[in-house]
Structure 1
Amino acid sequence: MDLSLLESSLSIGAVAPVPLIARRPAHLVGNTPILWIDAPFAPAGRGFYAKLEGANPGGIKDRPGLHMVREARRRGDLAPGAPIIESSSGTLGLGLALAGLTYGHPVTVVTDPGMEPSMVRLLTALGAQVDLVNAPHPDGGWQQARRARVADLLDAAPSGYCPDQYHNPDNTAAYRPLAAELIAQLGRIDVLVAAVGTGGHSAGTAAVLRERCPELRLVGVDTIGSTIFGQPAAPRLMRGLGSSIHPTNVDYGAFTEVHWVAPAEAVWACRQLARRHYASGGWSVGAVALVAGWVARTSPAGTRIAAVFPDGPYRYLETVYNDAWCLEHGLLGHEPPPEPDEIADPDECVVTGWTRCSRVRDPLGREARSKAGVR
């Protein structure tokens, strides 16, 4: 938009849309804005459209938090007033806190020492109880340790309900409205770039978009050290994407390619977004922006690219945006290369930086077994 037109539209007396008046906080979820992102990720005339899910009260997982609880109540799996107990690294915890407030359920969020102190305080302020595991599982790391603790808490609370975001199809279904919003805002979409953790928002959004845009390319973004796409498990500094288990919500057949991104590369992208576009977020946002910029640079002119930014920056002020913390972890002064490394097979080698693979398969072979009728 021309700067003079923008200034005119913001002047006193200009006609502006009437802001939404919400009677309940859950009514604020959805209808998030889109921002055009170009330099320094793509040259003039190239770029991508960022869906700013951080505009939801708690981030993108407000959508599945509300939807999974609503559906569980509808089916009778969750009794009125019964406790909700779930594992989360943070953002789903916010969504479940909102759902607990909306539908009248106490919420316990099981997490690990990697959760930022600010997030613990926020969840507590929102009425959730935070339960901290103190040691990683020998095989499944912190994620499996949290899930084991959830199981223990459910044993002690027979009426309790765990949404099980990793394997619950309601998690995937929760993103139909997000896809509908993208279609209304952008019309045709050629490429969707999405971070992958539980697999919910990539699978749910792409499935609906393909009903309108059958040639859609889905580009997955993971973190180094994540097992989702066939890499070996390793300690992961980046939270909100990646996994040390294999969620069944991941739709492997939907992906055109996958990229792995390292923490220093995501930090660079997050800070560039903040400085150049006044819109940024956490690890997932930085990783997605890095990959979406590459897609914009390497795709034919006119390719319409949508990228999902799952959250905003405030949770990460003491990590991604803290110079002392980043220096301690060796994350500053590492501008990413212009192109990712390429591997032909997801388990060809252990990736340690931005890497791309155009062959995507379920590392557990579940898709092949399912097609063969084997359970």
Structure 2
Amino acid sequence: MPPHAVSARPQKAASPGYPALSRAVGNTPLIHLPVPSASGTGGFWAKLEGFNPGGIKDRPALHMVRQAQARGELRLGATIVESTSGTLGLGLALAGIVFGHPVVLVSDPGMEPLMGRLLSSYGVRVETVTEPHPVGGWQQARRERVQQLLAGIPGSYCPDQYNNPDNVGAYAGLAHELLNQRPHIDTLVCSVGTGGHSAGIHAELRRHFPGLRLVGVDTVGSTIFGQPARTRLMRGLGSSIHPRNVDYGAFSEVHWVSPAEAVWACRMLAERHYVSGGWSTGAVTLVARWLARTSPGETTVAVFPDGPWRYWNTIFDDDYCRAHGLLGGEPAREPDVLAAPHEREVHRWTRCATVTDPLAGAR
């Protein structure tokens, strides 16, 4: 065997229940969340993607695998290998069962223990890298291990969620659900990690609403929009690399949010509305509330990528939050402002109306 060869799990048979499983993905609720304002009538709409079996990334996982099969890139029973912080992993576990593929996922020590156990229970083999890459952090370390695994497992396939246009195309269905749920949308608010759902939903909605604004939500310490890459506590949004699925030209503005601010928003949602989610949901909520308050009369839709359940020992654990300094009280009412992404390093909620591709001059 080659130096990094590994054995995959035995081939699976495709699930005979595929039609039923496919119907469990999509058609998620859209609910209105009121926001206190001077008029007393403000609020925003939240698309609850946590109602999918594994979260929002069930959609691209199924779509990327289906499209790879159709093109002949993924043969029947071949092993799927991918890097994940968790949510896409759940989607690929579903796709592996549906289409009959063993799945090997590469993660890092930041993956929640519950997520690792869930993935294993779904028949996935999880590999954990032990050291971050000196430049690309944990994501690049995971991607390099993926390449080693691909070289060692004959016929294996990597969806490459960061750069695969099928990741973007998978969200046309979500956009059409929104079209059926709201007669008009002025602003779409999305967290940004691989860039898939912000690009895919916006591209389809823009055909119907030419004036639609796309507002991106990132985490402090992420390099996607030109800030320096730092060690990040939040998972599911942000990046230490530059995914090519991010449609920089589509964004009207970007906001960076800190972990403490996201925790406050998640807990506020739970207490006031009996709905919540993870880091991305908290960050998106903070921004969507501000937009609803400052743009009265406009329809703002925010995408909540998952539910709160996997965050019981992080966001919703007082001991964890105290240990990481995340219980500092309510965030500022207004974001800080940058004129340009490189103006200075941000550490709290900050917005910037200048959005550029950090790699544009290097290509």
TM-score, normalisation: structure 1: 0.91
* Identity score, percent: 65
Cα shift at 1:41: 8.7
Letter in 2 for 1:51: K
Cα shift at 1:351: 0.1
Cα shift at 1:294: 0.4
Aligned pairs (5 A) from 1:356-371: 356-365=351-360
Q: Which consecutive residues of structure 1, in runs of 5 or more, have no partner in the other structure?
A: 1-20, 370-374
In 2, the alpha carbon distance for the partners of 1:127 and 1:42 equals 52
Equivalent position to 1:144, from 107, 125, 140: 140
Q: Which consecutive residues of structure 2, in runs of 5 or more, have no partner in the other structure?
A: 1-16
In 2, the alpha carbon distance for the partners of 1:137 and 1:80 equals 33
Match of 2:316? 321
Match of 2:246? 250
- Structure 1 segments, 4+ long, off by >6 Å, are none
Equivalent position to 1:105, from 101, 110, 130: 101
Change in Cα spacing, 1:41 to 1:251, as seen in structure 2 (3 Å) is farther
Match of 2:275? 279
- Give SS of 1:334's match: coil
Cα shift at 1:282: 0.2
Cα shift at 1:38: 1.6
Change in Cα spacing, 1:83 to 1:141, as seen in structure 2 (3 Å) is same
Change in Cα spacing, 1:347 to 1:41, as seen in structure 2 (3 Å) is farther
- Give SS of 1:362's match: coil
Equivalent position to 1:82, from 78, 81, 94: 78
Letter in 2 for 1:262: S
Cα shift at 1:42: 9.0
In 1, the alpha carbon distance for the partners of 2:203 and 2:101 equals 31
- Give SS of 2:241's match: coil
In 1, the alpha carbon distance for the partners of 2:39 and 2:188 equals 19
- Give SS of 1:24's match: helix
In 1, the alpha carbon distance for the partners of 2:19 and 2:231 equals 43
Match of 1:52? 48
Match of 1:14? none
Q: Please tell me whether the aligned partners of residues 36 and 293 of structure 2 are also in contact (alpha carbons under 8 angstroms).
A: no
RMSD over aligned Cα atoms = 1.4
Match of 2:168? 172
Equivalent position to 1:269, from 251, 265, 273: 265
Equivalent position to 1:353, from 344, 348, 352: 348
Cα shift at 1:334: 2.6
Change in Cα spacing, 1:42 to 1:305, as seen in structure 2 (3 Å) is farther
Q: Please tell me whether the aligned partners of residues 28 and 56 of structure 1 are also in contact (alpha carbons under 8 angstroms).
A: yes
Q: Please tell me whether the aligned partners of residues 110 and 130 of structure 1 are also in contact (alpha carbons under 8 angstroms).
A: yes
Q: Please tell me whether the aligned partners of residues 36 and 42 of structure 2 are also in contact (alpha carbons under 8 angstroms).
A: no
Q: Please tell me whether the aligned partners of residues 196 and 241 of structure 1 are also in contact (alpha carbons under 8 angstroms).
A: yes
Q: Please tell me whether the aligned partners of residues 266 and 286 of structure 1 are also in contact (alpha carbons under 8 angstroms).
A: yes
Deviation string 1:86-118 (CA, Å, 9 cap, x unpaired) is 000000000000000000000011000000000
- Give SS of 1:74's match: helix
Change in Cα spacing, 1:234 to 1:106, as seen in structure 2 (3 Å) is same
- Give SS of 2:282's match: helix
- Give SS of 1:99's match: helix
1:204 aligns with 2:200: yes
Cα shift at 1:285: 0.1
Aligned pairs (5 A) from 1:111-190: 111-190=107-186
Cα shift at 1:43: 6.9
- Give SS of 2:190's match: strand
In 2, the alpha carbon distance for the partners of 1:238 and 1:42 equals 33
Aligned residues: 347
